[in-house]
Amino acid sequence: MSSNRAVLHRAARFVMAVAAGLTAIIVLPAPAQAATAAFAQESQWSSGYIGKITIHNDGAATMSSWRVEFNLPADTTVGSHWNAHMTRDGSRFVFSNMHYNGTVASGASVSFGFLANGTGQPQGCLVNGAPCAGLPRVDVTPPTTPGNARYIAGAMTTLTWDPSVDDTGVVEYQIFHRTTQIATTTSTSYSMPTPPPMVTTFGVRAVDAAGNLSPFAPIHFGQLPDSTPPTAPVNLRISGISQNGINVRWEAATDETFLVGYEVYLNGVLINRVGGTTAVVPYSGYGTYIVRVRAWDSSGNFGPIAQTGIAVDPPPPPPSSNSFARMSAK
C-alpha cells in the first residue's frame, strides 16, 4: 500500500509540474549529504590511545545516517568502541551510527569513540563514501560585470572599464566585437586602431581562475537602442547534482546587436547573472526545483524564458518488520 501511495505521489507531482509549464522533470534519488569527519586523540599512553571521530554535517539537508571507515596499521587494532556499530575486514574498520545518533541536522555534529591497542592512527578515512577531509569546493561564482565601460577616441581608440570583483580573483578580460572575440587582456583597458565611422557594439567581460564568465559590459559606437529581444536559450537542461549544487547548462541564445548575458532563476527567485552557458543553482535537499533562464541584450531587452526542472525524492522507507513476517509466512 505504501509503495502504491509513493507511485501516486510521484505521478501527481509530475502532472502538477507539467501543468505549471515545466519542460522537463526528472525524478532522481537524492545525492549523499555532504559530511566531514575529524580524528582526535583524547588521551594516549605507550601502548595505545583513546580515539574520537567527530562527524559534521556540512550539507543543507538533515543527514539520516552516517558511516565512517578507515585502515589502521598492522600493529594497531580496536579493543572497544562506543556510540557506533563496528565491523572489521582485515585492517579496515567500519563504523556506522546507532539508532539514536544517525540523524544529524545541517551544521550539527555527532561523535563516537574507540580504544586503540597500538599507536597507529587512522588512514584512508572515508565518511559516507567521501574523503573525511571533505571534497574540494569548485568555484562556480562568476565575477561582477566590468563597470563604467566606455571608449576614448584619438589616434588610437581605447576601450576602458572599471575592474570586476570576484571571490577568487579575475585572471583576464575578454574583448568582443559583436559575436567575435578580438582580444584578451589582464589590464582594464585595450587600445586598437580607430575604426571607420560605424554603428556597432563592442563588449568586455571578466574571467576568473575557474573559467566563470561575467556578463558583458557593452560599449556602443553610435549604436541606437533596439527593441528586438534575444532568442530563448536552447536545450536548457540539468546535467547533474554535485557538491556545489544543481548543474544547469544550455545552448546560446542569439541577438541582432549584442548579447550581454543570462539571468538564472530558481523557483521564481533570481539566483545569478552569468556570461556563459552554464550555471549552478543551490541544492537544499528533497523537493522540486524549477529553473528558468532568459537572455538579455545590450539595449536591455529580455528574451523568452527557457524552463526545466528536477524532482528529488527521498528514498522509499525500509520494509516494516510486519512485511518481513508476511513474506516469511509465505
Contacts of 244 (CB under 8 A, 6+ apart): 137, 138, 140, 280
Superfamily (CATH) of domain 1-30+225-330? Immunoglobulins (2.60.40.10)
Which class for 327: exposed (0-12), middle (13-18), buried (19 or more C-beta within 10 A)? Answer: exposed
Nearest-5° angle of CA 318, CA 99, CA 284?
Answer: 70
pTM of structure: 0.64
**What pLDDT is stored for residue 10 in this prediction?**
45
CATH fit for domain 35-131, picks 2.60.40.290, 3.90.420.10, 3.30.365.10, 3.40.50.300: 2.60.40.290
Position with higher pLDDT, 268 vs 2 = 268
Mean pLDDT value of segment 226-235: 95
Cα gap 148→195, rounded to integer Å = 21
Phi–psi pair at 328, nearest 5 degrees? -65, -35
Domain 139-222: CATH class, spelled out: mainly beta
Q: Give pLDDT tens digits for 297-323.
A: 999 999 999 999 988 776 555 555 454
C-alpha cell at 316: 522509499
Q: Give pLDDT tens digits for 112-168.
A: 999 999 999 999 999 988 888 876 667 889 999 999 999 998 889 999 999 999 988
Is residue 34 helix, strand or coil?
A: coil
Say if residue 230's pLDDT is above 80.
yes
Q: Please give the C-alpha separations between residue 230 and each of 218, 284, 297, 299, in angstroms, as whole numbers.
A: 15, 32, 6, 10
User: 197 near 222, Cβ under 8 Å?
Assistant: yes
* Domain ranges, ordered by start, for the chain: 1-30+225-330, 35-131, 139-222
